[in-house]
Amino acid sequence: MTENTTSTPAPTMKAVRTMKAVSQHALGDVDVLELVETARPEPGVGQILVAVHAAGVNPTDWKHRRHGIFLGEPPFTLGWDVSGTVEAVGLGVTLFQPGDEVFGMLPYPHGAGSHAEYVTGPTRAFVPKPAALSHVEAGALPLAALTAWQALVDNAQLEPGQRVLVHAAAGGVGHLAVQIAKARGAYVIGTASAAKHDFVRGLGADEVIDYRTVDFTEAVSDVDVVLDALGGENALRSLEVLRPGGMMVSILPGEVAEVPERARELGVRSKVMIVEHDQAGMAAIAALVESGQLRAHVSGTYPLGEAAKAHAEGETGRVTGKLVLTARP
């Protein structure tokens, strides 16, 4: 930007406001991530500007970092989870005002950008942050909790007494799905490595299966709902444990070609979903938090400048619960 040297600047000029953000200008390994100084966004009509305190890191972040997927070619800033404080509001916004603490999920996929000090998003992507929840805990919840809620409640219409199988039950979505299913009155079976069985039971799971030593298709049957977070052959095999009329919901943006036909043969149903920003869902999640029925397990936090370390840890596939980036002390 060239400095204005006139003695009377035009009245419409505004001081440039900047922020730090995690950006990338190429697809690839963690070394493509860099902390940059960039222009701070301003809220548009129906939007709020949030000073980000914390933002979760999810598998979709490192998948987009490597492959672009829905966002295409960089440059871009990743991140859909947000917990922070409203800094400013756009035209027509009445639900929030500056100073309000909020959390939510930015519109997926093209609303990404929360791995920064500030982000804008539609008002109805957010709800008030429960006072008892820290920003780190709140920042861990939105995308993973909404994924679990939309899979189990909106798609599978889970009812009390039904049997649910949650794959990767110690993972980001899985550990929240176990709690949501229990809160709905379900009987919950989870798969996890043996070292994580106590953790999964502590979330409320009625049974836990060691996927490394036990064939879940032989240990489980007559399941009403399967939450598939693994895809591939696991999705196809999961159909075998469903009761007639049962449903498998896969949260991966793709589907094994044989799944629909095999589901029809077995008399069961299958769906593939992609999470959506959802104020009603966020309100339900906040209510579960406030009632003590839902909590996020945060296994690690990193400042924005160490986003590459968070991605590297996440890609090991061994994280219990969630990883979170912090944008403010």
**C-alpha separations of 114 from 42, 80, 242, 326, 327 in Å:** 14, 6, 38, 11, 10
Q: Where are the domains of the chain?
A: 18-141+296-326, 144-272
Q: How confident is the model at residue 257 (pLDDT cuts 50, 70, 90)?
A: confident
* Tokens describing residue 24: 């990338």
Q: What does the mean pLDDT of the chain come to?
A: 94
| Mean pLDDT (whole number) for 11-20 | 67
Residue 302 has pLDDT above 60, yes or no: yes
Instruction: Tell me what pLDDT residue 278 has.
Output: 96
Q: How confident is the model at residue 192 (pLDDT cuts 50, 70, 90)?
A: very high
Instruction: Tell me what pLDDT residue 7 has.
Output: 40
| Mean pLDDT (whole number) for 114-127 | 98
Instruction: Tell me what pLDDT residue 253 has.
Output: 76
Instruction: Tell me what pLDDT residue 8 has.
Output: 41
Sheet holding 163-166, edge to edge: 207-210, 187-192, 163-166, 223-228, 242-250, 269-272
Q: Which of 3-7, 222-226, 277-281 has the lowest mean pLDDT?
A: 3-7
Residue 247 β-bridge partners: 225, 269
Task: Quote the CA–CA distance of 125 and 111 in Å, as a whole number.
Answer: 10
Instruction: Tell me what pLDDT residue 10 has.
Output: 42
Instruction: Tell me what pLDDT residue 11 has.
Output: 41
DSSP class of residue 143? H
DSSP class of residue 153? I
DSSP class of residue 217? H
Q: What is the DSSP string of 260-327?
A: HHHHHHHT-EEEE------HHHHHHHHHHHHTTS----EEEEEEGGGHHHHHHHHTTS---SEEEEES
CA 290, distance to chain mean position in Å, is 19
Q: What is the pLDDT of residues 24-83, one digit of tens each?
A: 999 999 999 999 999 999 999 999 999 999 999 999 999 999 999 999 999 999 999 999
Instruction: Tell me what pLDDT residue 329 has.
Output: 80
Higher per-residue pLDDT: 63 or 7:
63
Instruction: Tell me what pLDDT residue 9 has.
Output: 43
In 10 A of CB 111, how many CB atoms? 18
CATH H-level, domain 18-141+296-326: superfamily: Medium-chain alcohol dehydrogenases, catalytic domain (3.90.180.10)
Cα dihedral 17/23/25/30 (nearest 10): 160
| Mean pLDDT (whole number) for 285-298 | 98
- By percentage, how much of the chain surpasses pLDDT 70? 95
Residue 1 has pLDDT above 60, yes or no: no
Q: How confident is the model at residue 254 (pLDDT cuts 50, 70, 90)?
A: confident
Q: Which of 37-46, 249-258, 299-308 has the lowest mean pLDDT?
A: 249-258
Q: What is the pLDDT of residues 217-251, one digit of tens each?
A: 999 999 999 999 998 899 999 999 999 999 999 99
For 144-272, CATH gives: 3.40.50.720
Q: Among candidates 251, 106, 277, 112, which has minimal Cα distance to 177?
A: 251
Predicted structure pTM score? 0.94
Helix, strand, coil percent values for the chain (each to nearest 5): 30, 30, 40
Q: What is the pLDDT of residues 129-157, one digit of tens each?
A: 999 999 999 999 999 999 999 999 999 99
